[in-house]
A and B are shown apart, each in its own frame.
Chain A
Amino acid sequence: MLQPIEGSAAVAKAVALCRPQVVAAYPITPQTHIVEGIARLIADDDLRCELISVESEFSAISAILGAAAAGSRAYTASSAQGILLMTEVLHNVAGLRIPLVMTCANRAIGAPVSAWNDQQDSMVMRDTGWIQLYCADNQEAVDTTIHAFRIAERTELPVMVCMDGYILTHTLEVIDLPTQEQADAFLPPYHFARTLDPRKPLTIGTLVTPDFYTEARYANHRALIRAQEEILAADRDWEKISGRSCGRLLSVNGPYDADVAVLSIGSVMGTLSDAREQHPELGPVKLIKLRSMRPFPIDELKRACERVSELIVLERALSPGGGGIIGPEVRAVLSELHSPPRIHNFAAGLGGRDIPLEIYPKLIEAARAHEVTRFAIIDVDIDKLAVEDR
């Protein structure tokens, strides 16, 4: 049913549609409205669920780890420092192969303190072994949340649904909120093969010696790669029910033969799309929306860039001392192409800085330049820095 609804409230309702039995959370802006929404649904008896208001994000993720291991569908949401505080547990959940879903309301990381959006928080969690799906708008956030539970439970891997903080979480827009029947048709009741059960006592969380640790890591790696099939299946199956796709692992929008492409991730895709419409004079440009950061869609990326000669990678995080995070990965994958595109890697929109429509012509212009931009923060104003810090 279409309705104007704030992103966080919509995600809360999407979570509720998945009938979680345990939600644990600790407040951090901009994640708070999601958990407030769930608390409200529970208070109004629209959701039967144990809400644990824990004393830290560390305990939030730990508690839902326990809950999922004990046989309940479980969920949490967090942001920024909260995600970072969870770091140790995030690795642990993935290693234990426990199906969990977490919303990351993306936010910058201090210091300096910034309460505003970027994607540094989830990007530094890239290597935790979680599936990471990024949402371009709140409809995707709703649909991906529902996908996420099925993907997690079928793959026995945790899924992080990333949505830009404020830009999505605090924005009211019109969304088609699925019905309970649709959700139930898509998502079977929770089942975890290794549930903690006195009738069949298992020991979870063992010590593994060098004899088998490598194999354990390999198995996790393979599980993430194989999860691509479940991510695709979820999107397809949900499309049959809802009529909407979230863009598989990666989606391409624009002329097939465009030799310029912009690859980005998250909510900036819409701005880029509108900007492209405003600037037909800049020629045909393909927009590549990266949805699945992990597993990284290698084949899809290669296919999308086969005919591209100039690829701009725009991201909202960076690896200080290295450059971009997505950019180098893209560059590595596309180096396998027969004739790889030139890849221009930009970061923008850090710590809440607006990414305006005007970024688009700048990006295209940079792509046309003689020199490849290996990495740059496109919206930096170095005049604001002391000379020695430039």
Chain B
Amino acid sequence: MDSPRSNSHTVAELHHKQPAFRGLEAGHLACSGCGQALGARLVTEAIGPDVIIANATGCLEVFTSAWPRSSWRVPWIHSLFENAPAVASGIEAALKAQGRATKVVALGGDGGTFDIGLQSLSGMLERNHNVLYICFDNEAYMNTGVHRSSSTPHAAMTMTSPSGKMRMGKRHLKKDLLAIIGAHQIPYAATATVAYPSDLRAKVRRGIEIEGAAFLLVHSPCPLGWGHDGALSIEVARLAVETGIFPILEMERGNVVTAMKIRDVRPVVDYLRPQERFHHLFDDSPEARDELEHLQQLADHNIERYRLTASQPEAHDSEGVDTVGRGGMRWS
């Protein structure tokens, strides 16, 4: 079996000869199997090199920018946890003043977006800056060591929402951030997942083309915080969609305009079981059974609310969207 290694380039050279621009390079310090690292790279692929990124504090920031090294191939700035949207607003205003057409993207995790940076984000959206804000949602403060955020799903275990005699993990619901974003009436907002790269890239391209503020919420598994094998990051993300737990939506001016249909709806336990953070829900206690049912009902509610099922298969439904064929992805 001939290895392609026998061709003219060394592996090191190949990093500079990839057919797609990759704004996030290897050598970063993310955990093995990190969904966010993948998501960030996919995002940069879709945007291309003519961009400036403002990054909120969080795992992505830390694992890509440990001085003297950087994993970024695009101009990138990190200021603080809660101000990436404001920094991006300023960058955008500066570019506008200078007449530069470079795109501006802000990146943050769920902590930086759902919680501490929400005000700043709201301001950026309300002022309709021509910025695409992308939140990599791994549903907890992973950078600090897995602590619950307002994005942490109900009943999930974190270091600050442990399960025990008196608790079944997080007591509260995951914040409906998209509804909040939608209330700003921005031109475009969407959810996506690293499990469906072609969908993700299409939405990034859409968001970047739009004149005005755009928002993208990218479900990004965290093997460390969710407690699953790193190899299963994509699998778990896919199950989040196929169970209805994480709906894939597009919103224009606050209205949901598309919802990715689930071709074969899977039971929520399929999603929960591979994840240690839901382990306590499988101890067969009455409380655990209640919570399992609760999560199933939440998924069912999503399916009903966003009409996630269809009578006919669709090209871009949960099965069709990641179809591959010889020579590449179907929808890349």
- Which residues of A line the B interface, CB within 8 A? 21-22, 24, 48-50, 52-56, 58-60, 62-72, 74, 88-89, 92, 96, 196-198, 200-209, 212
Contacts A55-B123, A59-B120; A70 near B79 (Cβ below 8 A): no
Encode contact with A along B60-97: 1 for CB under 8 Å, 0 otherwise: 01101111101011111111101101111111111111
Contact between A201 and B97, CB atoms less than 8 A apart: no
Chain A residues, Cβ within 8 Å of B50: 198
Min CB distance A152 to B, Å, is 15
CB nearest neighbor in B for A22:
B93
Contacts A59-B89, A62-B83; A53 near B77 (Cβ below 8 A): no
In Å, the complex CA distance between A92 and B95 comes to: 22
Contact between B79 and A72, CB atoms less than 8 A apart: no
CB nearest neighbor in A for B123:
A55
CB nearest neighbor in A for B65:
A206
Contact between A59 and B123, CB atoms less than 8 A apart: yes
Would you call the interface of chain A mostly helix, strand, loop, or mixed? mixed
* Count, A-B residue pairs, CB within 8 A: 164
Min CB distance A72 to B, Å, is 4
Contact between B89 and A66, CB atoms less than 8 A apart: yes
Chain B residues, Cβ within 8 Å of A63: 86-87, 89-90, 93
Asked whether B122 is an interface residue with its Cβ less than 8 Å from the other chain, the reply is: yes
Encode contact with A along B89-121: 1 for CB under 8 Å, 0 otherwise: 111111111100010000000000000000110
Counting chain A CB atoms within 10 Å of each CB, the highest count among B49, B66, B78, B83 belongs to B83
In Å, the complex CA distance between A153 and B111 comes to: 34
Min CB distance A235 to B, Å, is 29
Contact between A207 and B65, CB atoms less than 8 A apart: yes
Min CB distance B56 to A, Å, is 11
Counting chain A CB atoms within 10 Å of each CB, the highest count among B65, B72, B98, B119 belongs to B98
Partner of A88, one of B77, B80, B92, B95: B80
Chain B residues, Cβ within 8 Å of A200: 75
Chain A residues, Cβ within 8 Å of B77: 66, 69, 196, 203-205
Chain A residues, Cβ within 8 Å of B74: 198, 201
Contact between A89 and B79, CB atoms less than 8 A apart: yes
Contact between A66 and B88, CB atoms less than 8 A apart: yes
Partner of A49, one of B75, B85, B92, B97: B97
Min CB distance A73 to B, Å, is 9
Min CB distance A164 to B, Å, is 28
Chain A residues, Cβ within 8 Å of B190: none
* Given A66-B90, A198-B49, 20 more pairs with CB closer than 8 A: A22-B90, A24-B93, A54-B89, A54-B127, A56-B119, A62-B83, A63-B90, A66-B91, A67-B93, A69-B90, A72-B93, A89-B80, A198-B74, A198-B75, A201-B73, A201-B76, A205-B78, A206-B65, A206-B70, A207-B61
Contact between A21 and B51, CB atoms less than 8 A apart: no
Report, nearest first, the 5 A-B pairs whose CB atoms are least far apart.
Answer: A66-B90, A55-B123, A63-B90, A205-B78, A203-B70
In Å, the complex CA distance between A70 and B127 comes to: 19
Asked whether B126 is an interface residue with its Cβ less than 8 Å from the other chain, the reply is: yes
Contact between A70 and B67, CB atoms less than 8 A apart: no
In the complex, which residues 136-160 of chain B have their Cβ closer than 8 Å to any Cβ of chain A?
none
Chain A residues, Cβ within 8 Å of B94: 21-22, 50, 66-68, 70-72, 74
Contacts A67-B91, A204-B77, A204-B78; A50 near B96 (Cβ below 8 A): yes
Min CB distance A158 to B, Å, is 13
Min CB distance B84 to A, Å, is 8
Contact between A62 and B67, CB atoms less than 8 A apart: no
Min CB distance B72 to A, Å, is 5
Chain A residues, Cβ within 8 Å of B54: 66
Chain A residues, Cβ within 8 Å of B64: 203
Contact between B90 and A65, CB atoms less than 8 A apart: yes
In Å, the complex CA distance between A120 and B80 comes to: 25
Contact between A196 and B79, CB atoms less than 8 A apart: no
Min CB distance A202 to B, Å, is 6
Min CB distance A318 to B, Å, is 29
Chain B residues, Cβ within 8 Å of A52: 89-90, 93, 127
In Å, the complex CA distance between A72 and B74 comes to: 19
In Å, the complex CA distance between A96 and B90 comes to: 16
Chain A residues, Cβ within 8 Å of B122: 55
Contacts A67-B94, A72-B98, A209-B66; A201 near B89 (Cβ below 8 A): no
